[in-house]
Every structure is written in structure tokens, then in C-alpha cells.
Amino acid sequence: MRRIISVLMENEPGALSRIIGLFSQRGYNLDTLCVAPVEDSSLSRLTITTVGDDKVIEQITKQVNKLVDVLKVSDLTDGQHIERELMLIKVATKSESIRAEVKRTVDIYRGQVVDISPTNYTMEITGTSDKLDAFVNTMAQVGEIVEISRTGVCGLARGEKAMRP
């Protein structure tokens, strides 16, 4: 089962390396990784998506929580949460009909064209991973996908619940 783990950690050199090292030492795979400073610049939020059953995820969260740089660990998939991912995708648009179909599809998915060249459109789209996957599948039917870059999932618990040190 896909899980989203949020880690509040100190924004120090080597902190990310220690967490990632823990995953690799134990043979766990990371699907996505997103990290950035939070409102307190001495802290960062790391959002990891991985796949595992409840036992594996519990073991991961306990081991990550033991690391010195880690202040708090939360499995966001346990409760209501909001998740988003950003994708840039470049599609070959060699004909006017392909350009029109790409633009129409981008509008349906509430994305935007951010760059146009004589032979390519580059689009930006934000949403859940499922939405981005669906957009990629649709674009593959419309035209040739030249390049894709995705940020990985970032997420927060819904409502009053907040991850604080």
C-alpha cells in the first residue's frame, strides 16, 4: 500500500542523508521525496512516499523517529490529508491540430502552458499523483511526450492538526 510519511527535522547538513541512509540500509524504496524549510527556518519538512504494509511502515516511522535530527514523524495516510504534486511536461506539437488538442486537454486538467516553441509545448499541472498520471496517459494519446519532471508529493494533515516540534 502506498504511504505518505511526513517528517519534521532540523535543517542541518547531513540530516536528510541520515534519513535516506536508514531507508537504503533496510532495503526500503522511496517512490518520491520532497523537502523544504518550514516557517521556522531552522526546521525542514520532508515528505516521503513509499510502499509497504502496516508493519513495515510502523518499523520505518519508529526508526526514523529515533534519529537525532528528527523532531516528529507522521504517517499522513492514516488520517485526512491534502497532497499535491507539481509536474512539468513537454509535448511535441508539430501540427496545429495537435496544438489545439494539447491546449484543450490542459484546460480540462486545469493546468497551464508555460512555454511554447515552434515544435513543443511545456505545461505545468498540479494535483494528486493520480491526476498527474491520468494527464500523462492522456497526453501520450494526443502527442509525443518529449520530457517529464515531477516534484514528488508534499502533504499536510487536514483541519486543526499541525505538526509542530
Which superfamily is assigned to 82-150 in CATH? ACT-like. Chain A, domain 2 (3.30.70.1150)
pLDDT attached to residue 45: 94
pLDDT single digits (tens) 11-53:
999 999 999 998 888 888 899 999 999 999 899 999 999 998 8
pLDDT attached to residue 159: 83
Question: Which residues touch 53 (CB under 8 Å, ≥6 apart)?
Answer: 1
Q: Which fold has domain 2-79?
A: Alpha-Beta Plaits (3.30.70)
- Whether the CB-CB separation of 64 and 57 falls below 8 Å is answered with no
Percent helix, strand, coil in the chain, to 5, is 30, 40, 30
- Residues 102-111, mean pLDDT to the nearest whole number: 96
Which range, 26-30, 57-61, 101-105, 157-161, has the best average confidence (pLDDT)? Answer: 101-105
pLDDT attached to residue 1: 85
Closest CA to 145 of 74, 85, 90, 108: 90
- Residues 67-91, mean pLDDT to the nearest whole number: 92
